[in-house]
Structure 1
């Protein structure tokens, strides 16, 4: 899962980033409105943590940009402004949640997990496709024939493909989602093929009735077999 933190307070940004990286998320950051707009205009995120009070403008402009461009990122407003008016304005503009500074990092982590459950797993920790059950909280993938032993990247790839079931996911989108936006500097995506090959083998071992289809030169699609 990929998260963007838009925050201009360096210590706060570092604490948030360290906390979320420890949870296994891909975390990127922006400290002003211009760089934030640049990132959300080019890349997709599962969750955006958005400070309203930025040095060169308002975080509300980010919400308006997302709405105007039909982007579906989940947004949690993170701001010292805890008045009811600011909260209502943010939620009405498209934010999914609001957390006021100061806050405990454990609460932030809980809010992020809750948003991701709502966005990707329809409010549950579990995603079921055929006989495969993916648990986002426990990071497990099982069928009645056993549990798949997946590393972090394999689990993230499987989850991303599963939440985009029957949709073609390009190699670049998959790489960016799992490895971060710096991956656009890669010369090729052979490392993805290696992970997909391992996933197919492990799906077969637990007799999962899903398959990962390759669309030559473009990407992959997860479907029921």
Structure 2
């Protein structure tokens, strides 16, 4: 799935792949019930994506990534059942929706149940049937500290979550942070992953 530097790597759609690095801002959605989600804007304060959490959707363990017009791009679910209860990992699955509302599974994220293990990264694979042994992307660092990076399987940086120094110096809440997406990578996929991280760490999408 991953192309060499300078090429597009569409996962949701090539329209979400930029030829240059792009910095987007994430803000917790204000004045809504718990689990309301967050909004992603560009440097001109235009909305690029919206993420609905369980307080909006009414379903725990389910998230929706939408485009600027509110159209659904990714439906994300946490996998349940007795097998997941006994596993050392929890699985999240991301589905694309077609014009008839049919779901197409496109990625699987493995969430370690214990975050006490040092350097225990989160893995993402694009072919869920082989998710137990292989991975295409991984997340390293601390999302709660707004200091984490998404890498591809070749070690290339896909995106970084960060708080700019000038914002940190003003002691602004971590409800406002930035995501730097590298050229060619799919922004919609990146924010699908960030939506899951947000939920894992009991933040804006969590009830």
Q: Work out which structure has the larger RCO, using CA pairs closer than 8 Å and 6 or more positions apart in sequence.
A: 2
Q: TM-score range by the shorter chain?
A: under 0.3
Q: Which has the higher strand share?
A: 2
Q: Which one has a bigger Cα radius of gyration?
A: 1
User: What TM-score, normalized to structure 2?
Assistant: 0.24
